Amino acid sequence: MSDTTFTPGQRVYSVDGAAGLFVAKVDEGFIVRPLYGERDLEEDDEAYPEGAALWRTAHPSAPVERFDTAIQAMNKKLDSLRAEVRELETKKYAFERVTQEQRDRIKEHDALKPLDDLLAGRVTHFVVTKNGRFGVFTVEQATKLDKEWYHGSQLRLSLVSSHSAPSGLVWKLSQESRGYDHEVLPFVSEASAMEKCRALIAARLQQLADDTYFNSYSVDEPVNAAQRYGVPVPEKLQQRILAHERAAATAARDKAAKELAAAEAKLSTATPATPA
């Protein structure tokens, strides 16, 4: 309600809460000098009047909106809901931050990189190695490899600790009943699995080429895998294989020659049987 008994210079307020100094009452309303300040201050000496304005109403104190009891209850509930939303948003942000940190740590660990793909069912192929053998298999094939690889029993994929692995963890296909387990590498496409398989074969062939001691039994499977997957055999390894085969052939020839000579000598000294 407007008060018509203001005195000149008295502070008054508009319906919007603006402050001013009362000047005079006129038929159209109230003439006031609006107050301004650098900050929201109440002291007169820290606010200054500027110009004049005509207000339709003036009040001795800043008006406050009044609501019906039901509206007040609804506003109170709305404020409570807004507070809950802010709290949930804060928790959501904290959860997302922690989750992202966990994902970042997983990505830094080589063995855990395929974990998300495995959980999401995106893994389609495995690279399997065993005793110098190399192969690319679908998920179904890898868990049901034939008896040449795993004696025909069902296999299970697991992530296990390994002191020999650089990351300390490896994926393995295991056969608990027989105690077999072999390292495997999961991939989301056949192309990526093939690329990794060829890289592993090439690395193994180069290792065999550079080894001081040449073991022919360690060469057959990697070379066979190289032929299946189109991996070139290093020239140095080819020369070592050829030298070994020549040496083996020479040894076999010499042994046969010695056995032949011994047989001929025995034959020449044999006494013919006397007729009865």
Q: Do both 58 and 122 map to the same domain? A: no
Range of the domain at 37: 1-65
Residue after which a domain boundary falls, among 43, 65, 87: 65
Q: For residues 169 and 105, what is the distance between their CA atoms, to the nearest angstrom?
A: 14
Over range 225-231, report the average pLDDT. Answer: 91
pLDDT score, position 143: 67
Q: Do both 140 and 241 map to the same domain? A: yes
Q: Do both 35 and 129 map to the same domain? A: no
Q: Do both 124 and 232 map to the same domain? A: yes
117: number of Cβ within 10 Å? 14
Tokens describing residue 44: 């007169």
Inside any domain, residue 268: no
Note the pTM of the prediction, 2 decimals.
0.51
Inside any domain, residue 276: no
Q: Which residues contact 96 (CB under 8 A, 6 or more apart)?
A: none
C-alpha 43, offset from chain centre: 61
Q: For residues 67 and 48, what is the distance between their CA atoms, to the nearest angstrom?
A: 33
Choose between 60 and 97: higher pLDDT. Answer: 60
pLDDT score, position 219: 86
Q: Do both 134 and 244 map to the same domain? A: yes
pLDDT at 269 over 60: yes
Choose between 227 and 151: higher pLDDT. Answer: 227
Neighbour-count burial of 7, counting CB atoms closer than 10 A to its CB (0-12 exposed, 13-18 middle, 19+ buried): exposed
The rounded mean pLDDT for the chain is 78
Q: Do both 58 and 137 map to the same domain? A: no
Q: Do both 163 and 44 map to the same domain? A: no
**Contact criterion met (CB below 8 Å) for 170 and 111:** yes
Q: For residues 258 and 264, what is the distance between their CA atoms, to the nearest angstrom?
A: 10
Continuous H helices in the chain? 69-108, 115-119, 139-142, 147-150, 190-210, 220-229, 235-268
Q: For residues 172 and 67, what is the distance between their CA atoms, to the nearest angstrom?
A: 70
pLDDT at 194 over 90: yes
Q: Do both 153 and 216 map to the same domain? A: yes
Inside any domain, residue 256: no
Inside any domain, residue 216: yes
Using DSSP's 3-state secondary structure scheme, residue 21 falls into strand
pLDDT score, position 160: 58
Q: Do both 127 and 25 map to the same domain? A: no
Residue showing tokens 């069902």: 154
Q: Do both 139 and 56 map to the same domain? A: no
Q: How confident is the model at residue 41 (pLDDT cuts 50, 70, 90)?
A: low
Cα atoms in the 13 Å half-sphere on the side-chain side of 88: 6
Q: Do both 56 and 146 map to the same domain? A: no
Helix, strand and coil percent figures for the chain, each rounded to 5: 45, 20, 35
Q: For residues 230 and 201, what is the distance between their CA atoms, to the nearest angstrom?
A: 10
Inside any domain, residue 148: yes
pLDDT score, position 169: 62
Tokens describing residue 162: 């390994």
Q: Render pLDDT for 232-251 as a digit per residue (tens, 0 to 9).
A: 999 988 888 888 888 888 88
**Contact criterion met (CB below 8 Å) for 127 and 197:** yes
Tokens describing residue 267: 């034959």
Q: Do both 148 and 43 map to the same domain? A: no
Based on its alpha-carbon atoms, the radius of gyration of the chain, rounded to whole angstroms, reads: 46
Neighbour-count burial of 184, counting CB atoms closer than 10 A to its CB (0-12 exposed, 13-18 middle, 19+ buried): buried
Inside any domain, residue 80: no
Q: For residues 25 and 3, what is the distance between their CA atoms, to the nearest angstrom?
A: 10
Cα–Cα–Cα angle for 234, 172, 215, rounded to 5 degrees: 35
Inside any domain, residue 27: yes
pLDDT score, position 21: 92
Residue after which a domain boundary falls, among 50, 65, 80: 65
Inside any domain, residue 99: no
Q: How many domains does the chain have?
A: 2
